[in-house]
């Protein structure tokens, strides 16, 4: 009975988190069709309009406007484009590099493990956020620099987890049986070990997407992300912080959107791992 309740909890977690991510992603993809206003259009006549349910609201500005009269809902929707692009690209790059090195180190061991482990130790000695800011400052502002910086920093997270998982799987009986059956080491690593490590990689990939969204928001908060006036969640939050007493909605709504997106990435990954991990099942 407890297993049934646990399975239902995992399924609900996947559906709720996946539902929010799907809605946010579709809104970002179809932003030109869904955004009620031009996110860059400024009109000081509509400065700091409140959301639609408050007195003084204007039709068409559902979540109000910022200090320059720009529609907040439209800016949040367009900001999702930057967030999801960074999330997918940076997480995928970090996953490929880190998982490959972790799989090699964990399965083969020996000198390969020692070299990879020392590199990871050196890499993790740097504070990640400060390292990201330093890399972006060196590479220059822009989405490409942000993606590269996040991938360079966070590949170690995949490497450590996959190395530990592969090291444990390499000692299993099925690996020894595959060797006896005549499979080569590369075939065993890719066809036997990797599928059993894959659930952890998927969960970590989803978590990394959420981390990438946070890092991009931090960098845009300090004006180190995209260098144009294009909206980003971190940039909107930075502006809202300056006018919190006059227009609280400029800070609150992008913060809530950022929080729900990061939480959904985390819960979606954990739910997938619990659903597909053969050990947990």
Residue where the block lists tokens 């956020």: 129
Structure-block tokens of residue 20: 């929010």
- What are phi and psi for residue 154, nearest 5 degrees? -95, 5
**pLDDT tens digits, one per residue of 196-229:** 888 888 888 988 999 999 989 988 888 887 766 7
**Long-range pairs, 112-120, Cβ under 8 A, ≥24:** 113/163, 116/159, 116/163, 117/163, 120/156, 120/159, 120/160
- The single-letter DSSP state of residue 65 is B
The listed range with the strongest mean pLDDT (81-95, 124-138, 155-169, 223-237) is 81-95
**pLDDT tens digits, one per residue of 106-123:** 888 889 889 999 999 888
**pLDDT tens digits, one per residue of 142-183:** 888 889 988 988 899 899 999 998 888 888 888 778 787 777
Cβ atoms of 66 and 43 closer than 8 Å: no
State the pLDDT at residue 279. Answer: 53
Rounded distance between C-alpha atoms, residue 68 and residue 66, angstroms: 5
Rounded distance between C-alpha atoms, residue 73 and residue 41, angstroms: 13
Task: State pTM to two decimals.
Answer: 0.87
State the pLDDT at residue 188. Answer: 81
Give the chain's mean pLDDT: 86
Residue range 5-26: mean pLDDT, rounded: 80
**pLDDT tens digits, one per residue of 218-274:** 888 888 877 667 899 999 999 899 888 889 999 999 999 999 999 999 888 887 777
Cβ atoms of 199 and 276 closer than 8 Å: yes
Rounded distance between C-alpha atoms, residue 135 and residue 194, angstroms: 32
DSSP letter string, 29-51: HTHHHH-SS-TT---GGGTTPPP
Rounded distance between C-alpha atoms, residue 17 and residue 30, angstroms: 20
Rounded distance between C-alpha atoms, residue 67 and residue 76, angstroms: 15
CATH code of the domain occupying 2-30+72-276? 1.10.3720.10
DSSP letter string, 215-266: HHHHHHHTT-S-SSS---HHHHHHHHHHTTTT-THHHHHHHHHHHHHHHHHH
């Amino acid at each position: 009975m407890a297993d049934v309740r646990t399975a239902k909890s995992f399924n609900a977690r996947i559906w709720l988190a996946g539902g929010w991510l799907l809605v946010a992603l579709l809104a970002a993809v179809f932003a030109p069709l869904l955004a009620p206003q031009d996110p860059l259009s400024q009109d000081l006549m509509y400065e700091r309009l409140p959301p639609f349910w408050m007195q003084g609201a204007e039709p068409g500005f559902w979540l109000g406007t910022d200090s320059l009269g720009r529609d907040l809902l439209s800016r949040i929707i367009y900001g999702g484009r930057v967030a999801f692009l960074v999330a997918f690209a940076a997480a995928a790059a970090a996953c490929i590099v880190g998982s490959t090195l972790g799989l090699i180190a964990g399965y083969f061991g020996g000198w390969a493990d020692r070299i990879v482990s020392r590199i990871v130790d050196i890499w993790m000695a740097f504070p990640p956020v400060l390292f990201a800011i330093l890399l972006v400052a060196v590479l220059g502002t822009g989405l490409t620099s942000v993606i590269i910086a996040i991938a360079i920093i966070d590949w170690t997270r995949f490497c450590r987890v996959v190395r530990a998982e592969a090291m444990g799987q390499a000692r299993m009986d099925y690996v020894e049986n595959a060797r006896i059956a005549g499979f080569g080491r590369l075939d065993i690593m890719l066809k036997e070990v990797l599928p059993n490590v894959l659930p952890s990689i998927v969960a970590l990939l989803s978590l990394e997407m959420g981390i990438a969204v946070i890092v991009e928001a931090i960098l845009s908060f300090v004006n180190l992300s995209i260098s144009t006036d294009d909206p980003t969640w971190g940039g909107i939050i930075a502006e809202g912080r300056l006018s919190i007493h006059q227009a609280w909605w400029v800070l609150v709504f992008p913060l809530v959107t950022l929080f729900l997106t990061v939480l959904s990435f985390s819960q979606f990954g954990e739910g997938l791992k619990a659903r597909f991990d053969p050990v947990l099942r």
